[in-house]
């Protein structure tokens, strides 16, 4: 494990999820060139039993994939694979659709609060055009109302190689939209493998959820409490001097044998962790799941670990209670875990850690987490989300709101879109943003606005915080020249206007979309910049559904034509809707989605029936 100066680009981690035999391992093999099934039994049976791994290079990230088993009998290994990641590739086979383990895996992703990912609709070559449309619509309906509803659905035929480039692009975008963990100098790596390498000694691998770690660092192996030294580091099969949080990492350790370390152990920085066998948690029970009676045994999954604990309830009104483990665990407030019934082996719910080393009655976080502590945290890390603040400061998630109200009223911080920022930092960034946009308008008077990516680079912050600055400026009393607005990805002053429909590019796009209302060409095919498209959307001249752009009047016409037909016939298949409009599969999916969302149609089995708004087309 020889070091190199740096990685070629950012390394991140993506886990798979999905029902058995839906093609997860085959897909990872196609993306990485590595067969994630490591054991002869897996290869012989064609069934993933344990975690598998592989790496692939996207445009902006090197991805470490963690492939998980899909069979119900190996759910504990699946939990170990997804417990430490922030992005997931959910796999659903187009020829089978939503299955029991799909539903259970999605439930687990929600309990771990995984917000970012992509849905791959595999085996797309095994169904016909209409069946593929139905499979895409079913996935959309199943994830409606969950964070997964914003994940792109990408049809893939793995063996044929079709859809793989689109999947890589979607994964790259998903990783770009998910913020990596902050570098809080509070390291923790959840171990998923420990083995010996000839000539090197003990090597452990896992996801570095908190960091950083560097060569020659001293670290502690929990729960055995052994202090060891890091001899070497690899991330993405590349040697490096230092590993950052949110990456897949292999550590060569000195001072411990590989068989002394097990999956679920944690490698943590010394002198910054208070490990404890007693923690207080806030539990969210799953609907129609097993009960959680007082003084009962539960199996706790956190990171890559699986631990037995005893549950006792502390609050009569809320499901707040105490977990007592047999051995200490490296946890901190804000950590998420999944609880399973020890008796029924079924998921009970998800939990958030409130307090570590709990004792006596639950303490009031406002008493132990004073404003000076909050000030020290925000001074060291001047712009944090509330979740990051909880993790860094060790605050109680159930009472952090009271502390933040006190700090806001005292003028110590400002809350913007769920983030905490000192007022002077916010004011400086807002002045800088206004100046950057002003210079852009002076240099490019015909431009509708500055891309948000350029603004964030100029300010040295990420897109989430750049957007928050723009939105905050709109809410402040100021001259129009000092107020910013954002339309999708373009930032401009509120007094800067441009009539796009009268430009050559705007006229060209509108003419083409109106000429082929239900089979519209893409803006890229017409060489129309996305900034022009977004401004036409702002003016309600075009509309987007599932990355397809239509003229606004085309969607209105589709609603009228299909609405009248479904009222007259009683039912319509997706194929009949396609034929009715003279459309194709690529375009009928977003059109049907617009019909469903508008209430013109409603799904019943494989058909569409009149929705609550169907009669509105007759007005």
**pLDDT grade, residue 367 (50/70/90)?**
very low
pLDDT in tens, 504-560: 888 899 999 999 999 999 999 999 988 788 878 877 889 998 889 999 999 999 999
Enter the tokens of residue 350: 């998800």
* Percentage, residues of the chain above pLDDT 90: 51
**pLDDT grade, residue 47 (50/70/90)?**
confident
pLDDT in the model for residue 196:
95
Question: In terms of DSSP bridges, do strands 87-93 and 52-57 run parallel, antiparallel, or are they unpaired?
Answer: unpaired
pLDDT in tens, 404-451: 877 887 788 888 877 888 888 888 889 999 999 989 988 887 777 888
pLDDT in tens, 67-97: 999 887 888 899 999 998 989 999 999 999 9
pLDDT in tens, 109-122: 999 989 899 999 99
pLDDT in the model for residue 30:
96
CA-CA distance, 267 to 113, in Å (whole number)? Answer: 23
Enter the tokens of residue 220: 């502690």
Task: Give phi and psi for 460, each to the nearest 5.
Answer: 75, 30
Q: How many CB atoms lie within 10 A of CB 612?
A: 10
pLDDT in tens, 229-258: 999 999 888 899 999 888 899 999 999 999
pLDDT in the model for residue 488:
65
Query: At a CB cut-off of 8 Å and minimum separation 6, what does 538 contact?
Result: 487
Coil, helix or strand at residue 538: helix
pLDDT in the model for residue 181:
66
Query: At a CB cut-off of 8 Å and minimum separation 6, what does 303 contact?
Result: 83, 84, 188, 190, 207, 209, 264, 266
Name the average pLDDT for the chain: 86
Is 476's pLDDT higher than 70?
A: no
CA-CA distance, 217 to 231, in Å (whole number)? Answer: 8
Radius of gyration for the chain, computed over Cα atoms and rounded to the nearest angstrom: 26
Enter the tokens of residue 492: 């401009």
pLDDT in the model for residue 391:
66
Cα 60 from chain centre: 17
pLDDT in the model for residue 366:
35
Task: Give phi and psi for 105, each to the nearest 5.
Answer: -65, -40
* Percentage, residues of the chain above pLDDT 70: 90
Query: At a CB cut-off of 8 Å and minimum separation 6, what does 581 contact?
Result: 518, 558, 561, 562, 588, 591
Query: At a CB cut-off of 8 Å and minimum separation 6, what does 450 contact?
Result: 436, 437, 440, 490, 491, 492
Enter the tokens of residue 99: 């299955």
pLDDT in tens, 119-156: 999 999 999 988 999 999 999 999 988 989 989 999 99
Q: How many CB atoms lie within 10 A of CB 308?
A: 14
pLDDT in the model for residue 401:
75
């Amino acid at each position: 494990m020889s070091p190199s100066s740096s990685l070629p680009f950012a390394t991140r981690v993506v886990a798979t999820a999905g029902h058995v035999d839906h093609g997860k391992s085959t897909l990872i093999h196609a993306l990485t060139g590595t067969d994630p099934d490591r054991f002869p039994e897996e290869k012989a049976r064609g069934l993933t039993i344990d975690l598998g791994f592989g790496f692939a290079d996207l445009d902006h990230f090197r991805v470490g994939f963690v492939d998980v088993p899909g069979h119900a009998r190996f759910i504990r290994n699946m939990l170990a694979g997804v417990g430490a990641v922030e992005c997931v590739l959910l796999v659903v086979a187009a020829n089978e659709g939503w299955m029991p383990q799909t539903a259970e895996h999605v439930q687990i992703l929600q309990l771990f609060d995984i917000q970012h990912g992509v849905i791959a609709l595999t085996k797309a070559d095994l169904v016909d055009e209409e069946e593929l449309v139905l499979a895409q619509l079913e996935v959309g309906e199943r994830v409606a109302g969950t964070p997964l509803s914003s994940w792109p659905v990408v049809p893939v035929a793995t063996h044929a190689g079709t859809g793989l480039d689109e999947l890589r692009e979607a994964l790259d975008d998903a990783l770009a939209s998910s913020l990596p963990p902050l570098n809080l100098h509070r390291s923790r790596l959840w171990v998923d493998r420990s083995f010996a390498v000839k000539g090197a000694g003990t090597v452990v691998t896992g996801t570095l959820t908190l960091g950083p770690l560097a060569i020659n660092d001293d670290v502690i192996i929990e729960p055995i409490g052994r202090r060891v030294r890091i001899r070497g580091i690899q991330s993405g099969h590349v040697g490096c001097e230092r590993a950052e949080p949110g990456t897949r990492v292999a550590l060569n350790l000195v001072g411990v044998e590989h068989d002394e370390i097990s999956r679920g152990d944690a490698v943590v920085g010394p002198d910054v962790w208070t490990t404890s066998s007693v923690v207080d948690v806030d539990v969210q029970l799953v609907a129609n799941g097993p009960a959680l009676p007082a003084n009962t045994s539960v199996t706790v999954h956190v990171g890559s670990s699986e631990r037995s604990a005893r549950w006792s309830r502390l609050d009569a009104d809320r499901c707040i209670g105490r977990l007592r483990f047999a051995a200490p665990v490296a946890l901190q407030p804000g950590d998420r875990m999944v609880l399973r019934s020890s008796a029924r082996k079924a998921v009970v719910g998800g939990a958030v850690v409130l307090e570590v080393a709990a004792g006596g009655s639950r303490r009031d976080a406002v008493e132990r987490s004073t404003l000076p502590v909050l000030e020290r945290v925000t001074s060291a890390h001047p712009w944090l989300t509330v979740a990051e603040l909880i993790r860094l400061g060790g605050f109680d998630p159930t009472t952090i709101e009271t502390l933040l109200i006190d700090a806001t009223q005292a003028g110590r911080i400002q809350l913007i879109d769920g983030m905490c920022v000192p007022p002077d930092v916010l004011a400086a960034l807002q002045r800088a943003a206004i100046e950057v946009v002003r210079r852009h308008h002076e240099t490019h008077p015909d431009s509708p606005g500055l891309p948000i990516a350029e603004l964030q680079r100029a300010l040295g912050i990420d897109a989430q915080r750049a957007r928050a600055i723009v939105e905050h400026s709109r809410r402040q009393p100021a001259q129009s020249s000092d107020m910013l607005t954002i339309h999708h990805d373009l930032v401009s002053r509120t007094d800067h206007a441009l009539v796009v429909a009268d430009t050559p590019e705007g006229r060209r796009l509108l003419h083409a979309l109106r000429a082929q209302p239900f089979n519209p060409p893409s803006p890229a095919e017409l060489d129309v910049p996305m900034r022009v498209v977004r401004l036409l959307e702002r003016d309600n001249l075009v509309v987007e559904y599932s990355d397809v752009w239509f003229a606004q009047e085309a969607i209105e016409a589709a609603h009228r034509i299909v609405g009248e037909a479904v009222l007259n016939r009683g039912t319509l298949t997706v194929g009949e809707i396609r034929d009715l409009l003279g459309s194709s599969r690529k375009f009928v999916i977003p059109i049907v989605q617009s019909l469903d969302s508008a209430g013109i149609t409603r799904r019943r089995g494989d058909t569409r029936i009149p929705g609550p708004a169907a009669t509105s087309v007759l007005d």
